[in-house]
A and B are shown apart, each in its own frame.
Chain A
């Protein structure tokens, strides 16, 4: 192990602290994003024109502007209106609102992809609109949106790197500071890169395991674990079933 790597590995506690902070921000922002996305998706699909308008404006404005600018506005501009947020809170808010807009569109696509036959059959069976939505549409939509939502989760994780602009001590910010002290840029930034790789792979793995647990096969994402002989591979037609 060369002297440079030893020096950089000496900063490991700071890196890990930053990684934990990044993970915390990711989880909180993702929860906020899910809430925003659900509300916005419902609003955009509702029959009330005002709701559709407000949600539409939210999604279009947020998706068509850079997230770094949004972070700056939440942290630097809102205090002029009396809203002071601590850097981490501002980061969670900005990232949550931003990815929420993207997730809203994913959710809407997922809901729309549940075939009309399902809702019609549910209505015929006497389920109310709300029951139809909660018990018939959502489980199927969830399976449809799952891979894209995991993508959005990783988008949040990588978006935390932009929070360095508002002085949040997360991985990228810490790497820049350590680099300024030691000037070992190759090792310092490789270390940061590795941390991001580890974190995003951990999150993907957790998502895959969760997907396997809550979804019946065929699973919407790659297998984790041995292939069980009972279930056909997705794409392979099953034996003809009389419906």
Chain B
């Protein structure tokens, strides 16, 4: 059934009205994204027709994504996004997003794919789709050098700064360590809180923290790994298999050619610590 522009607008309005009155539109995830032709609607087709791929990235999360001196997006994620746009043959549009709104941005079609150091877990698989991993991380603690905190066991009764929408502090609850959590809007705010003494530590991705400690001499990262390894992947809208397949292929090429390792080394100064696929 060919969906013309008028019909698509009507369907979108009906879906929005239904959502506002609290009804769930029955599984209509992929229906509103295509503009014409074909029985398979996928973000891939929409991107090719539009001539532009919209990549959601957290531009306040150096060195994965940040704004350089002239305000343009830059970083490890952005470099990979540039490679993606090159392989698709379209323009790149990097959309700034945050941990809290990356999933809503996917679900409301504001972006085609989300990078943003997105950890793959079962809870999130219920809402969005994921590709294969592109970087591996674990969690560590960022502390002031003068605080003397060496591991999670030293955190009893202290304050932990996290970012709204991130699940990083849950690991402490699982270990039975009682802490006060403060939830900030951005990771920069949380780091500032640790630096200024308003919080004792920040739990975050170990790659990210290593970079932050490099930039802030008064801060340091603890050595241990708080959690089992996290495999971070691209997030896509749930149910779009065509687009997921394309992204997986792109990632395969990126890894097989060694380009991923080169980019990682460029931004973190070391080679990736863990292999992208566990062996079992």
Interface residues of A (CB under 8 A from B): 2, 4-5, 75-76, 79-80, 84, 87, 164-167, 169, 173, 176-177, 179-181, 183, 185-187
Q: Can you name the residue of chain B whose Cβ is closest to the Cβ of A90? A: B198
Query: Which residues from B are CB-within-8-Å of A167?
Result: 161, 182-184, 189, 193
- Name B86-113 residues within 8 Å CB distance of A: 99-100, 103-104, 107
Q: B224 in the interface, Cβ–Cβ < 8 Å?
A: no
CB distance from A201 to the nearest CB of B (A): 24
Q: Residues on B close to A: CB < 8 A? A: 19-20, 22-24, 99-100, 103-104, 107, 127, 161, 164-165, 182-185, 189, 192-193, 196-198
Contacts of A5 in B (CB 8 A): 22
Residues from chain B with a CB closer than 8 A to the CB of A185 are 104
| Residue among B22, B23, B24, B198 making CB contact with A75, cutoff 8 Å | B198
Which residues from chain A contact B161 at a C-beta distance below 8 Å? 167
If A84-B197, A87-B182 touch, does A186 touch B23 (CB 8 Å cutoff)?
A: no
Beyond A79-B198, A176-B164, A186-B22, 9 additional contacts (C-beta under 8 Å) are A5-B22, A76-B189, A79-B197, A167-B193, A177-B164, A179-B100, A181-B165, A183-B103, A185-B104
Q: Cβ of B193 and Cβ of A186 under 8 Å apart?
A: no
A180 touches B107 (CB 8 A): no
The listed residue (B19, B104, B165, B189) touching A165 by CB distance below 8 A is B189
A180 touches B192 (CB 8 A): no
A173, B196: Cβ atoms under 8 Å?
no
Of listed A4, A76, A166, A167, residue having the most chain B CB within 10 A: A167
Q: Is the CB–CB distance between B19 and A76 below 8 Å?
A: no
Expressed in whole angstroms, the Cα–Cα distance for A79 and B3 within the complex equals: 59
Asked whether, in the complex, the Cβ of B164 is within 8 Å of the Cβ of A76, the reply is no
B127 — which chain A residues lie within 8 A by C-beta?
183
A185–B183 Cα distance when bound, in Å, is 18
Q: Evaluate whether A186 and B20 lie within 8 angstroms (CB atoms) in the complex, with A76-B192, A165-B189 already known.
A: yes
User: Whole-angstrom distance between the alpha carbons of A186 and B192 in the complex?
Assistant: 32
Contacting pair B100 A176 (CB below 8 A)? yes
Residues of A within 8 Å of B192, CB to CB, are 76
3 pairs of A and B residues whose beta carbons are closest in the complex: A180-B165, A167-B182, A79-B196
Contact partner of A4 among B22, B165, B183, B197, CB < 8 A? Answer: B22
Q: Is A187's CB under 8 angstroms from B22's CB?
A: yes
Contacts of A169 in B (CB 8 A): 183
Select which of A76, A164, A173, A187 is within 8 A of B193 by beta carbon.
A76
- Could you tell me if B196 and A76 are in contact, using CB atoms closer than 8 angstroms? yes
Bound form: Cα–Cα A169–B198 in Å = 15
The CA of A176 and the CA of B100, in the complex, are separated in Å by 8
CA distance A186 to B189 in the complex (A): 27
- Chain A residues closer than 8 Å to B196, beta-carbon distance: 76, 79-80, 84
Chain B residues contacting A164 (CB-CB under 8 Å) are 185
- Given known pairs A165-B189, A180-B164, A186-B20, the reply for A173 and B198 (CB within 8 Å) is no
